[in-house]
Structure 1
Amino acid sequence: MRVLALDLGSKRIGVAVSDDGGTVATPIATLARHGDRPRLHREIAELVAEWDAGLLLLGLPIALDGSIGPAATAVLAERDELAAVVGVPIEVHDERMTTRIADGKLRERGDLDSRARRDLVDQVAAAVILQDWLDHGTAPGAPHGGATT
């Protein structure tokens, strides 16, 4: 089963997808947040359909102490809105430190300036979230840890 993952930021949304076997995550896009949230959710639903994803995975920004703060609460609310549009199950996965990990990976490349890293960091963060979820799951199609809708 292919999985589409999102890193829901306040300005940009990173998008990554798994292979059909559910073993490798690949960053694919960065969506800009605009003022039309229903349209943005339709764009996400179109990506789910385009990539033939059977599940949508959202990074959940849990605080370092494990608590659910305002950012995580916002993701959970958006999950509920997306559930009415995307037509596939949605899970959330702890995304602590993923943007920092993604930025570090991009810095290691050494061939990107700060603007190029900023343009890629959200989709790489989505891939880090997805790869962590894939690595901690069992067989493709089997239930993974994390909240579902």
Structure 2
Amino acid sequence: MRTMGLDVGSKTVGVAISDPFGWTAQGIEIIKINEAQEEFGMVRISELIKEYEVSKIIVGLPKNMNNSVGPRAEASIRYAQLLKDLFGIPIFFQDERLSTVQAERMLIEEGNTSRAKRKKVIDKVAAVMILQNYLDSNQN
């Protein structure tokens, strides 16, 4: 059974999946969503859960720097509740402060990636970072 990591935004959800042993995270895809129209990409999430035999989901929680919960974190919490209601899989949160900034810096410094290409993959890379941080902090 694998773990899924999600970087939830207002327009996209970055998706990462762990290897079967729960050691490493790999970016899978970016799902387009539309919060305003309540289109949350749950059909595709369901397909990925089945395909990868997902046993738990890690949702990035974008807290404010002072550790408070703002509007984006509240949206992630609502998204996580929807996942739990639909799929009945355990959901955990991973603090994702600065994960997108780290992902962008990595793509610039290590990948020498153009701005246009970064925009296409940043959410998936952020999902990998969220999931990998979770995996690293929960190793037995």
Shared topology, TM-score over 0.5? yes
Aligned residue pair count: 137
Aligned residue in 1 for 2:73: 72
Q: Distance in 2 between matches of 1:67 and 1:113?
A: 33
Aligned residue in 1 for 2:39: 37
C-alpha deviation, 1:48, in angstroms: 1.2
Aligned residue in 1 for 2:4: 4
TM-score, with normalisation over the residues of structure 2? 0.92
Q: Distance in 2 between matches of 1:33 and 1:26?
A: 21
Aligned residue in 2 for 1:125: 126
C-alpha deviation, 1:88, in angstroms: 1.5
Q: Is the 8 A contact 1:4 1:57 kept in 2?
A: yes
Aligned residue in 2 for 1:143: none
Q: What value does the CA root-mean-square deviation take over the aligned residues?
A: 1.3
SS in structure 2 opposite 1:135?
Answer: helix
Change (3 A) 1:50 1:87: farther
C-alpha deviation, 1:61, in angstroms: 0.6
Q: Which amino acid in structure 1 is aligned with residue 64 of structure 2? A: A
Aligned residue in 1 for 2:61: 60
Q: Which runs of 5+ in 1 are unaligned?
A: 140-149
Q: Which runs of 5+ in 2 are unaligned?
A: none
Q: Which amino acid in structure 1 is aligned with residue 104 of structure 2? A: D
SS in structure 1 opposite 2:106?
Answer: helix
**Paired-residue identity, %:** 35
SS in structure 2 opposite 1:22?
Answer: coil
C-alpha deviation, 1:22, in angstroms: 0.6
C-alpha deviation, 1:87, in angstroms: 3.3
Pairwise mapping of residues 69-148 of structure 1 onto structure 2 (< 5 A)? 69-108=70-109, 109-110=111-112, 112-139=113-140
